[in-house]
């Protein structure tokens, strides 16, 4: 086995985001070599020479890989632990390992999968990998077989490592092999080349001078640090370690961050300085030894702006008096007032828009006003989607405390209450063995206020996007509620929801007659609902009826014409014809034609709201646009989020006919 001092390293750069990340398995596909030529130096003689790694099948010795002994590191290890001038692996620098058996020889490249750790001290590096800031894959390897080649164009000796042992994989910012990278979903791993075909070798890649690249990287780092220090000096920020002010801590962190892109580091400093300036401006509202309470005034002003915008976009009819002073102001005027006139003086509209977007995290009042405006526009939209809210009539609402699975225990023995005589004990309800489970899941989309909207003084497209998100969320909820019934899910007793056999072998709620809905078949569903019995503690216990009448009909829209003819005043029952008997009396609002029921089945339901439940994550109260948006290059991105769960719990409250 190679020791760290035997290992050579090759680094590489890339521009692709690692979107093959699988959160469930914590794995990521990477390309570790494309056979590019790089410059190496002989550690004994100091001679510089060109080296290429073979990408032919069988070139990589997988002894360590198959044993699960190829670590994934940052920068090839801990720089404080040097061996032969190179960092050595350490526990802290290890952020994962290569997956055994995942090596693949592709067309002119070698790929492998890596599994990353969940350790807290690895999260900063992991975040940089996942957001694309740290995109470069490098490997440590030990040459086992080498073939001398003709000298390259620069006259340096060249060799090809035809077989080598993979020792470690690193994410590092130093470039050498332009093709090694974290793999993107848009760049799927190709199938292995057909060994029966003739392979045409590509022209050798031009060698990269690592020394020159390193020199340029250091010069760029000096320029970045100079820019950051100049900004801090102009803002009067003391960068001494003894200064623990948040702005000083943020600037020092940007100075020490050599992984993030220079522009990102400088922008972080600008945002930190801007936030500090705003905080100090608010603190300066202390006058004459008396603290002026301004929070209430700021809240009143924000409410007035929100009301003015609601009136402008037709969400309220009457304009409150405090909002009248904002009635004629443009979005640009409101944005400038939020940022402060001094900071916007001399700026063009697009410059003001970009400044507002960059400052959103430190000036959250107006972005939150926009979020509230979006949520109010969605309230009006939901009222137009009554047809998709059908399940709220049948399912009880019980919100979820968290994302964990919620368990329901079947309590029986409550069909009728026994008499409790004077001094006698109360009998306990019977808790069955069956347990139902439900949970909520998060659904969502991004919506944004763009620079163009702010420049054009119109956020109507943002509100339109919020309403379309709401429509998509309502349709999603309706679809999930329909699936909770039509999918015939397995219940906690191990049996599917609809089962024709009587208790305890089945649920006695499935018709075997089939056919389109008519008075006879609707009456059959009503009978199923009415004849349900309570669970028994033991077989010898008497049966206790707990059935209820059918109060709701559920079916697909295609059954509307068929069923409604029986509720028409023109329908005349004929007791001699079993298909024309009087139909079960169901008011029109209780005849529900569900858009997401696409099959031929239809259902009768008691409307018992303890038999089925839906809910949202506590505090969200349904689909909403979240506050505190994320600033991006030219837009302010909000999250439209819906955390929703639904479950049918009791088969005794519903019956099904499979239809035609």
What is the pairing mode between strands 158-171 and 137-149? antiparallel
Cα–Cα–Cα angle for 387, 389, 390, rounded to 5 degrees: 75
| Beta carbons of 60 and 52 less than 8 angstroms apart | no
State the Cα–Cα distance between residues 555 and 190, nearest whole angstrom: 47
State the Cα–Cα distance between residues 175 and 164, nearest whole angstrom: 21
What per-residue confidence (pLDDT) applies to 639? 93
Q: Between 472 and 239, name the one with better pLDDT.
A: 472
Query: How far are the Cα atoms of 76, 83, 94, 99 from residue 90, in angstroms, in the given order?
Result: 9, 12, 6, 19
pLDDT tens-digit readout, 5-15: 456 665 543 33
What per-residue confidence (pLDDT) applies to 242? 82
Q: What is the DSSP letter of 147?
A: E
pLDDT tens-digit readout, 56-103: 888 999 888 888 888 888 775 554 433 334 445 567 778 888 999 889
Host H or E run for residue 290 = strand 290-291
**pLDDT at position 297 over 50:** yes
SS3 224: helix
Q: How confident is the model at residue 187 (pLDDT cuts 50, 70, 90)?
A: very low
Q: How confident is the model at residue 474 (pLDDT cuts 50, 70, 90)?
A: very high
Q: Which of 53, 49, 57, 60 is nearest to 35 (CA)?
A: 53
What per-residue confidence (pLDDT) applies to 543? 66
What mean pLDDT do residues 554-568 have? 94
Q: Between 83 and 36, name the one with better pLDDT.
A: 36
Most confident of 27-41, 89-103, 197-211, 305-319: 305-319
**pLDDT at position 24 over 80:** yes
Q: How confident is the model at residue 507 (pLDDT cuts 50, 70, 90)?
A: very high
**pLDDT at position 316 over 80:** yes
Query: How far are the Cα atoms of 52, 116, 157, 278, 420 from residue 47, in angstroms, in the given order?
Result: 16, 37, 9, 57, 99
Query: How far are the Cα atoms of 31, 205, 270, 353, 405 from residue 180, in angstroms, in the given order?
Result: 5, 13, 33, 39, 42
- Which residues lie closer than 8 Å to 160 by C-beta, 6 or more apart? 51, 52, 53, 54, 146, 147, 149
Across the chain, mean pLDDT equals 80
What per-residue confidence (pLDDT) applies to 6? 56
Q: Between 507 and 19, name the one with better pLDDT.
A: 507
Q: Specify the range with the lowest mean pLDDT, choosing from 19-28, 264-273, 419-428.
A: 419-428
**pLDDT at position 558 over 90:** yes
**pLDDT at position 436 over 80:** yes
**pLDDT at position 283 over 90:** no
**Tokens standing for residue 89:** 């692996």
What per-residue confidence (pLDDT) applies to 575? 67
What per-residue confidence (pLDDT) applies to 191? 43
Q: Between 217 and 114, name the one with better pLDDT.
A: 114
The rounded percent of the chain whose pLDDT value lies above 90 is 29
State the Cα–Cα distance between residues 27 and 140, nearest whole angstrom: 20
What per-residue confidence (pLDDT) applies to 412? 56
What per-residue confidence (pLDDT) applies to 183? 46
pLDDT tens-digit readout, 633-645: 789 999 999 999 9
**pLDDT at position 525 over 50:** yes
**pLDDT at position 199 over 50:** no
What mean pLDDT do residues 385-403 have? 93
What per-residue confidence (pLDDT) applies to 181? 47
**pLDDT at position 537 over 90:** no
Q: How confident is the model at residue 138 (pLDDT cuts 50, 70, 90)?
A: confident
**pLDDT at position 516 over 70:** yes
State the Cα–Cα distance between residues 343 and 233, nearest whole angstrom: 19
Q: Specify the range with the lowest mean pLDDT, choosing from 82-91, 430-439, 594-603.
A: 82-91
**pLDDT at position 188 over 50:** no
State the Cα–Cα distance between residues 454 and 335, nearest whole angstrom: 8
């Amino acid at each position: 086995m190679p020791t760290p001092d035997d290992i050579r390293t090759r680094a590489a750069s890339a521009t692709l985001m690692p979107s093959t990340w699988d959160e469930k398995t914590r794995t990521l596909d990477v390309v570790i070599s494309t056979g590019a030529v790089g410059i190496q130096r002989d550690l004994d003689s100091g001679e510089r020479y060109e080296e290429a790694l073979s990408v032919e099948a069988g070139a990589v010795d997988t002894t360590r890989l198959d044993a699960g002994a190829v670590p994934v590191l940052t920068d090839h290890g801990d720089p404080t632990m040097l061996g032969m001038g190179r960092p050595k692996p350490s526990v802290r620098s290890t952020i994962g390992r290569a997956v055994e058996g995942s090596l693949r020889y592709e067309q002119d490249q070698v790929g492998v999968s890596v599994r990353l750790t969940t350790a807290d001290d690895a999260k900063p590096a992991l975040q940089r990998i996942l957001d694309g800031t740290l995109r470069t894959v490098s490997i440590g390897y030990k040459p086992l077989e080498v073939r001398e080649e003709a000298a390259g164009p620069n006259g340096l000796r060249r060799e090809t490592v035809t077989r080598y042992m993979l020792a470690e994989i690193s994410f590092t910012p130093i470039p050498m092999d332009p093709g090694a990278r974290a793999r993107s979903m848009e760049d799927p791993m190709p199938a292995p080349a057909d060994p029966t075909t003739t392979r045409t070798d590509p022209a050798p890649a031009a060698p990269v001078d690592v020394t020159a690249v390193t020199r340029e990287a250091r010069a760029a780092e000096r320029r970045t640090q100079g820019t950051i220090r100049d900004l801090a000096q102009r803002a009067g920020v003391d960068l001494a370690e003894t200064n623990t002010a948040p702005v000083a801590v943020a600037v020092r962190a940007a100075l020490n961050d050599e992984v993030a892109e220079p522009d990102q580091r400088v922008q972080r400093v600008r945002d930190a300085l801007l936030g500090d300036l705003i905080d100090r401006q608010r603190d300066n509202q202390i006058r004459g030894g008396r603290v002026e309470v301004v929070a209430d005034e700021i809240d009143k002003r924000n409410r007035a702006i929100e009301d003015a915008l609601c009136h402008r976009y037709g969400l309220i009819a009457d304009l409150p008096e405090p909002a009248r002073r904002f009635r004629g102001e443009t979005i640009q005027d409101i944005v400038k007032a939020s940022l402060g006139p001094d900071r916007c003086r001399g700026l063009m509209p697009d410059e003001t828009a970009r400044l507002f977007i960059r400052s959103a995290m430190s000036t959250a009042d107006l972005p939150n006003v926009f979020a509230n405006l979006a949520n109010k526009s969605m309230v009006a939209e939901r009222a137009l989607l009554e047809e998709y809210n059908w399940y709220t009539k049948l399912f009880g609402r019980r919100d979820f405390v968290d994302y964990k699975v919620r368990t329901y225990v079947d309590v029986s023995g409550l069909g009728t209450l026994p008499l409790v005589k004077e001094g006698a004990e109360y009998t306990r309800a019977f808790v069955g063995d069956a347990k139902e489970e439900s949970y909520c899941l998060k659904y969502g989309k991004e919506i944004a206020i763009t620079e163009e909207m702010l420049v054009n003084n119109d956020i109507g497209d943002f509100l339109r996007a919020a309403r379309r998100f709401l429509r998509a969320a309502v349709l999603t909820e309706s679809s999930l509620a329909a699936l909770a019934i039509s999918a015939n899910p397995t219940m906690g007793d191990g049996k599917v929801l609809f089962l024709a056999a009587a208790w305890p072998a089945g649920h006695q709620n499935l018709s075997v007659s089939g056919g389109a809905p008519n008075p006879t078949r609707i009456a059959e569903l009503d009978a199923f609902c009415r004849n349900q019995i309570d669970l028994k503690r033991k077989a010898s216990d008497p049966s206790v009826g707990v059935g209820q009448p059918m109060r709701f009909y559920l079916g697909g829209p295609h059954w509307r014409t068929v069923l409604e003819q029986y509720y028409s005043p023109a329908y005349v029952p004929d007791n001699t014809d079993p298909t024309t008997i009087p139909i079960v009396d169901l008011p029109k609002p209780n005849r529900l034609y569900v858009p997401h029921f696409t099959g031929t089945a239809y259902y009768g339901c008691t409307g018992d709201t303890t038999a089925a439940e839906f809910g949202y994550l506590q505090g969200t109260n349904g689909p909403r646009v979240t506050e505190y948006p994320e600033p991006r290059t030219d837009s302010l991105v909000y999250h439209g989020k819906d955390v929703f769960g639904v479950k049918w719990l009791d088969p005794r409250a519903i019956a099904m006919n499979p239809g035609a």
